[in-house]
Amino acid sequence: MRPALPTASFDDLREAGRQAVEAGRLHEALGLFDEALRAARHEGDPERIDLAVCNRSAVAITLGEGDGELARLRAILLRNAHPEACFAAAYNLSRYYELTKAFKKGLFYGRIARDRARMLRRGEYLAKSHNQIGNCLLAESYFDEAVAEYQSALDQLGLADSVEFATVLINLGYCRTMLGDPREGFRLAFRALRSLRRVGAHLYEAWPHLDLCYAYLEIGRLERARRHGQHALALAEKTGHRDLLKNALFLLGEVEQAEGRSDAAYGHFQRLQSEFYPESPRLANLMLVVDMRRMINLRA
């Protein structure tokens, strides 16, 4: 018989994985959660197995590798055995459907996650689920409803610096800008940047830089818009985040177009077309003559 793994090993591996996620080291986190899952299976603890599956699934979904996780997550929900694992499974399913643009399904599972969080009376889980519901509403352009969800998330989180706190600020700031209040959008985006820098989560700074690019573009401060757009593009290329890359290329093209630099704008639009819309060879030329900024929700 194999000697039992120390009880702390599972918890230590999960905590190390959590820290890797916080720092943006997602592939490292995936490996740590795989080890935690092996430890849980070695111990034969069903609750720990479910929690490890959820931890691993969360990272895989973020990396765009979530298709194989859906059956396991749904099985956890159907068994309805462990409230914390059920919350995590519902949250991860919502996140998967948000990332795959099935926003109504994302909203459905986000509300299940919120209800589980209420049963658990865990403020941090309520904050995550309110933020996730807000994301699905925002993607469907229900800006006022999304604002209410983000405010509820902040009510649960308080003011302590963290990736979660900064993420909600970023989302709320984008909503405020879209609702015609760029001043508040600026304030929230810069507050989010400060929070991320304080906790050392530099790879997460791409979204506030992207939102600042958009907000500065809206008020005609083109050099500042370009600078923040370039920061967002560099981080998107470093992390491999496809939505970020697509949006950064689009906004940088819009900045150059607004400044009358059509060749530079075409370069960004051409890369956008070739990497994301290869079936639409005329898209780059179309973007030079049609103002698409008013048609596009950067969170959709």
Provide the residue-wise pLDDT of the chain in tens; the chain has 300 residues: 444 444 448 999 999 999 998 888 889 999 999 999 999 999 999 999 999 999 999 999 998 899 999 999 999 999 988 999 999 999 999 999 999 999 999 999 999 999 999 999 999 999 999 999 999 999 999 999 999 999 999 999 988 899 999 999 999 999 999 999 999 999 999 999 999 999 998 889 999 999 999 999 999 999 999 999 999 999 999 988 889 999 999 999 999 999 999 999 999 999 999 999 999 999 999 999 988 887 888 888
Residue 62, classed as helix, strand or coil, is helix
Q: Which residues contact 210 (CB under 8 A, 6 or more apart)?
A: 228, 229, 232, 244, 247, 248, 251, 298
Instruction: Spell out the long-range contacts of 174-179 with Cβ–Cβ below 8 A and sequence spacing 24 or more.
Output: 174/138, 174/211, 174/214, 174/298, 174/299, 175/138, 175/143, 175/146, 175/147, 175/150, 176/147, 177/211, 177/214, 177/215, 177/218, 178/143, 178/297, 179/143, 179/144, 179/147
pLDDT on residue 22: 82
Helices 123-139 and 143-157 meet at what angle, rounded to 10? 160
| Entry pTM | 0.88
- Rounded CA-CA distance 129/12 in Å is 25
- Rounded CA-CA distance 129/150 in Å is 10
Q: Which class for 220: exposed (0-12), middle (13-18), buried (19 or more C-beta within 10 A)?
A: exposed
- Provide the b/e sequence for 107-116 (b: ≥16 CB within 10 Å): bebbbbbbeb
pLDDT on residue 1: 40
pLDDT on residue 6: 47
Name the class of domain 159-300: mainly alpha
Q: Centre a 10 Å sphere on the Cβ of residue 9 and count the other Cβ atoms it contains.
A: 17
